[in-house]
Structure 1
Amino acid sequence: MEEVFSKSNYNTTNNNIKPRVAVVSFPWASYVPYKFLSDVLKILEPICEKIVLIDGNTERVNIASKKVKVRDIGVGMHYLKDIKPKFYSAILWTVKCILSQVKISLELIRVRKDIDVVIFYMAYPYYLLPLITSKILRKKTVEVVTRSKSKSFLSKIISLQDPLLFSLLDGISPESKSLIKELGLEKYKGKLLPEGARFVDVTRYTIKKKLSERENIVGFIGRLRKEKGVMEFVRAIPIVASENKNVKFLIGGDGDLLNWVKNECKKIRNEYKINITIVGWIGKELPEYLNELKLLVLPTYEDAFPTIILEAMACGTPVLATPVGAIPDIIKDGETGFIMKDNSPECIAENVIRALNHSDIESIAENGRKLVEQKFTYEGAIERWSNIIKLV
């Protein structure tokens, strides 16, 4: 047992020694987290000696470096709607959730000699057992906080474990400064680390069609889940169309509400004769879709640092969003985008019309692009994450 509990050989006082890092995530059903995870591995590659990825569904991750060793736990979550009856689906989901934590913990034990730091990324709220395992193994632990304040009843119940998680962690890296106040992280001041924001590839996400040349297409792109406000967006469509019949709508994404979105949009098309396109999950074609939009709308209830905002801004597409999580750090109303006070269908519609009719919409789009180029480069992300690991 002496070997298991040996101190880490990672010496933060020697800048010539690169850390050996384990990245722990949760095997979500959605494809979106794996896109973000791919970006994180790309950031860590030049600053780490070795990277061990512990997760399920790892075939979804884009791994371009030989430094990354994959430990797939062989468990993948599912959407509750995918399995019938619903109560069985919920029981199975719970069993897989527990099993995934056990398997991740076992993998941490197996790779204990090869790692110094454990980074929990998009593992919340299901990483308590792996965290305890990491502490027993005497590894440095960090959570990159990718969430905003819980709004739903279930989320609030789950968040009761947060004080325990934060007390066990060695470091806490919020994706943006505003999350510190929103999540009450001030009390953990001694553990706070630099922001764990990712980056946007501005060579891929770039302006291919000028805003003035685009049709009036208003889009929602993201996970089709209740907390993302997609239901409110759909209900706002007829209200917008009543004010401007030339507006078209695009919805891209996947999730529990996909069938609901399809059914509701079919009813709206039939009743109001509105042009609505539903494209499902968008992969490599995302920059092309963003370059077709006149406005991207994110009426989310809760979010930490939605990357789609930065990707849209990089493509010269203005964004209208609710002021949650890190969004106010990125979007200043009338300067780098548009903010709406809430996500009621009426408020969404009112602000969509306001944005489309704004006399300086092209300047606002240009300001958004400049912000991304200045603050969210790959080089900047490498520097941020390097400091996170050094300071933990």
Structure 2
Amino acid sequence: MVSASKLNNLIKNGKKQPPIQNNREDSAVKPVLAIASHEGNPHNPKTWSGTSSNIAKALEDLGISVLGINAHLNRYQKRACTLIHQMSGLGSDFWGGPVFRGESGKIIQRQVKALGCKKVLHMGQLSLPMPKINPGVEHYLVCDRTRNLWNKRSNLEGYTPKMLKIAERLEWESFAQIKHFFPLSQYVRDNLIDYYQIDPSRITVINTGRGSLQPFYGEKDYKNGHILFVAKDRFEAKGGPLLLEGFKIAQQKNPSLKLVIVGQENYKHLNGVIPNLTVHGFIPWGEELQNLFNTAALFAMPAINEAWGLVYLEALATKNPILALNRTSLPEITQNGKYGFLMDEQTPERMAELLLDTFSDPERLQKMGAAGQKHCLESYSWQQTASKIASVMLDIPASKLKAKEFTLV
């Protein structure tokens, strides 16, 4: 166990590792790094909503070889983890607990040794801390939240006090092993500095690129009252009930309002029950989903604890202003409401007021949509994300990254 004082010093100062050596002095060496994920194969587009694979591909487009480390546990291992976790008095949710993190960390450590890689980019901290850091191996972290932020906004019914205490300790021990942090948002960066006392020089905000949907450049009808909600399951956590109740109130005062909900098979029974409500089950990325974004006038998803949310960027890219809660990274994504509407009061009545106000001025919506799209396309791309990561991990100037000229010494 690392002492509190030693742990604090490790987190504040980090560990200095020797640079990769180039044994062939007469030629350039193609940079190599590994991406590790506890959710699955980092090259699989389904892993972490495609974040891992998009970063890997963008790094490869820069001329960097990317090795994938899959620390995902199979269903039998998960069952064993769950059982041990519960028998240890840690509650029903084993994510972030010592059993799951310990097993994932061991998997990564074995693969790092087998691959002989010297630089590892962890996609999330749930496979950390690793049991033992091998000398000469540098560890970097992409994170969309911290345990401290998660505890503030989430339902913790599946956690016991013992589990919360252990999870907090594991978070600090994980961060002690990281050389440089890549939070997706300024919101997480601030928490790393303020709560975990990370040196700001060891943090680079990378944001993300967008998903598979294409930007929409055509004319939109902002008078149609078309509201869109898209989330793959987790309806409650994404703020679906709040939106639905607010819509019912607003629709009585403005019957032209229409709400389309996507990805909620369990709520399709509401079709025909609530006026102007259409509920779809899962719709894969493609022409049908693209058309729903293209024809919407407002994207509403008041998620309770959405750390980042690629779907918000999809909305902006298709000229849809955003309606969401005024928390987490949403002020950053909407530029403090410049490209949408942010709620402080989490009630159906307030939701209804915002929906009615939103569609009271279609010209304002049109301007928001155009400005939001411009900001999104200029500010968020996987190429920018990968360039920030590569420039830190490989110490390669941005000019050489663009030219794909690399020499590591």
Cα distance in 2, alignment partners of residues 228 and 353 from structure 1: 21
Counterpart position of 1:189: 199
Among candidates 293, 304, 307, match of residue 304 of structure 1: 307
Q: Any residues of structure 2 matched to 1:130-141 within 5 Å, and which?
A: 131-133=130-132, 135-136=133-134, 138-141=136-139
2:47 is aligned with 1:35: no
Q: Which residue of 1 aligns with 2:119?
A: 117
TM-score normalised to structure 1 length: 0.75
1:216/1:248 contact within 8 Å kept: yes
CA distance 1:287–1:44, shift in 2 (3 Å): same
Match of 1:292 among 290, 295, 298: 295
Q: Describe the shift of the 1:160–1:252 C-alpha distance in structure 2 as closer, same or farther (beyond 3 A).
A: farther
How far apart are residue 371 of structure 1 and its match? 0.4
Q: CA deviation at 1:17?
A: 4.7
Q: Tell whether 2:163 aligns with 1:166.
A: no
Question: Residues 78 and 230 of structure 1: is their aligned pair in 2 closer, same or farther, counting only changes over 3 Å?
Answer: farther
Instruction: Measure the CA separation in 2 of the matches of 1:218 and 1:205.
Output: 19
Alignment of 1:202-213 (within 5 A): 204-207=213-216, 209-212=218-221
Distance 1:377 1:132, change over 3 A: same
Q: Measure, in 2, the Cα distance between the counterparts of 1:245 and 1:35.
A: 38
Tell me the CA shift for residue 329 of structure 1. 1.5
Equivalent of 1:352, from 351, 355, 370?
355
- CA displacement 1:56-78 (0-9 Å, x = unmatched): 7xxxxxxxxxxxxxxx7655999
1:65-111 CA-to-partner distances (Å, cap 9, x unmatched) read: xxxxxxx76559999xxxxxxx99x9998499846852663354244
Change (3 A) 1:91 1:330: closer
Query: Which residue in 2 is equivalent to 1:228?
Result: 238
CA distance in 2, matches of 1:118, 1:191: 19
1:282 aligns with 2:314: no
Larger Rg over CA atoms? 2
- Counterpart check, 1:318 vs 2:317: no
Deviations 1:98-132 (A, max 9, x none): 468526633542442431211121x34x2125x33
Partner residue in 1 for 2:5: none
Whether the 8 Å contact between 2:307 and 2:329 is mirrored in structure 1 is yes
Counterpart AA for 1:282: P
Following the alignment from structure 2 to structure 1, what is the Cα–Cα distance between the partners of residues 255 and 144?
38
Aligned 8 A contact 2:55 2:386 in 1: no
* TM-aligned CA distance change 1:178 to 1:333, over 3 Å: closer
Spell out, residue by residue over 1:152-191, the C-alpha distance to the aligned partner (whole angstroms, 9 max, x if none).
2528924553222222222211112222224535710156
Q: How far apart, CA to CA, are the structure 2 residues paired with 1:41 and 1:31? A: 13
- State the partner residue of 1:3: none
Per-residue CA deviation, residues 164-222 of structure 1 (Å, 9 max, x unaligned), is 222222221111222222453571015633212221379x5211542227732211112
Shift of 1:303: 2.2
CA distance in 2, matches of 1:76, 1:221: 32
- TM-score normalised to the size of structure 2? 0.72
Residues 1-392 of structure 1 mapped to structure 2, 5 A cutoff: 10-11=20-21, 17-27=29-39, 31=46, 33-47=48-62, 49-55=64-70, 74=74, 94=94, 98=99, 102=103, 105-112=106-113, 113-121=115-123, 123-124=124-125, 126-129=126-129, 131-133=130-132, 135-136=133-134, 138-147=136-145, 149-150=149-150, 151-154=153-156, 157=164, 158-159=167-168, 161-183=170-192, 184=194, 187-189=197-199, 192-200=202-210, 204-207=213-216, 209-212=218-221, 215-225=224-234, 226-253=236-263, 259=266, 261-263=267-269, 265=270, 269-270=272-273, 272-285=274-287, 286-332=289-335, 335-358=338-361, 359-390=363-394
Distance 1:187 1:282 in 2: 41
Q: Percent identity?
A: 16
- Aligned-residue Cα RMSD (Å) equals 3.9
SS in structure 1 at match of 2:241: helix
Letter in 2 for 1:55: N
